Amino acid sequence: MRKRVIARPVGSSVRLKCAASGNPRPDIVWLKDSQPLVDEDAGAGGEGKKKKWTLSLKNLMPKHSGKYTCHVSNKAGEINATYKVEVIQRTNSKPILTGTHPVNTTVDYGGTASFQCKVRSDVKPVIQWLKRVEPGDENKFNSTIEVGDHRFVVLPTGEVWSRPDGSYLNKLLIARAKEEDAGMYICLGANTMGYSFRSAYLTVLPDLKPQNNVVPTASSPSLPWPVIIGIPAGVAFILGTALLWFCQSKRTCSSSSSSSSSALPTAQRLPAPNRDRACPAVTPQPANGDKDCLSYEDYIAHQQLLLAQGGAGLAPKVYPKIYTDIHTHTHSHVDGKVHQHQHIHYQC
């Protein structure tokens, strides 16, 4: 058998539950002070089996105080559960903070902390959360209030919930806790008759994550992918364009040189004869007055012979690899002097 003590003020309500199961299905009987309970006396009202498992007492008055027992039994056995209900006469008084809340709380940096406050009052009270202002920080807040010997700042307050036992509940939620959130908090309950308060402390653990205080350099910021890809591509395009322009300019210069060579006078652009033949003048000339046409090899041998014999004049220079045409003019004068002129036509 279990026993509970429930205190309720006048005019409030209470629900007594007696959940049990068995096979076969057990029967339940409610007793008040060991006497069978009548619904009219209990103020439960209504009929049905579901009502038998929960006893509802509404608009409590002092006469409802007493011991309520639920007796559950079947062929296999029986069990009992007893509640002691105390109906408290309402008196006009200041609010009273019940229970142990708020309590000291510790939270990780960036975590969520919560305080709750339970207030009993004859009328709906005003519940307000305050945080103590540390000395020297008064200028950080627009307005503060004085409670006892300390200054406090008023925090936003959520909805106040009314509970079946006649008390009122309110919670304070602190999300993403930081070091400046640490300190003393108080729950203040007030009505027309006065106020009551209770304090609790919040401790915020230091942040364990390493702080990244490195000053970013010029290369630190990450560049977007289009820039990373575009810069090398742009450099490659510029180099390719410059190389193409250089090659085109060189080709243009070569073409200009060829054009300049082809623009020489007709006298300098003689047709290229057979490189293997030369027609130097031979002294003395044949009787018929025609020039002998020697091969290149014969001409070289003839020149070497002239050098060996110490012939008049210097042997003409030979450019076997670059000349185009070599021929000699011989002029005889009246005084017996003979002049030979050798003409060499070549092209590079």
H/E stretch holding 256: helix 225-262
Half-sphere exposure of 236 (CA within 13 A, CB side): 5
Residue 33 DSSP symbol: T
List, in order, residues 6 or more apart from 195 with CB less than 8 Å away: 94, 95, 188, 189
Residue 151 belongs to what H/E stretch? strand 150-154
The continuous run of DSSP H or E covering 238 comes out as helix 225-262
Q: What is the pLDDT of residue 185?
A: 95
Identity of the amino acid at 307: L
Mean pLDDT of the chain: 74
What is residue 121's predicted lDDT score, i.e. its pLDDT? 86
Token look-up 């031979």 returns: 282
Question: Which residues of the chain are modeled with pLDDT < 50?
Answer: 1, 44-50, 260-292, 312-315, 318-324, 346-348
Domain 2-88, CATH class in plain words? mainly beta
Q: How far apart are the C-alpha atoms of 204 and 179, rounded to whole Å?
A: 6
Decide which of 3.40.50.1980, 2.60.40.10, 3.40.190.10, 3.90.700.10 is the CATH code for 96-204.
Answer: 2.60.40.10
Name the residue with tokens 């007793």: 31
Check if the beta carbon of residue 69 is closer than 8 Å to that of residue 33: no
Distance CA 226, CA 55 (A): 74
**Residue range(s) in the chain whose domain bears CATH number 2.60.40.10:** 2-88, 96-204
- The distance of Cα 43 from the centroid of its chain, to the nearest Å, equals 64
**CA gap 330, 307 in Å, rounded:** 18
Distances in whole angstroms, Cα of residue 81 to Cα of each of 53, 78, 250, 344: 12, 11, 111, 143
**Which pLDDT score, from 0 to 100, does residue 67 have?**
92
Q: Which residue has the tokens 């090659």?
A: 247
Cβ(86)–Cβ(156) below 8 Å: no
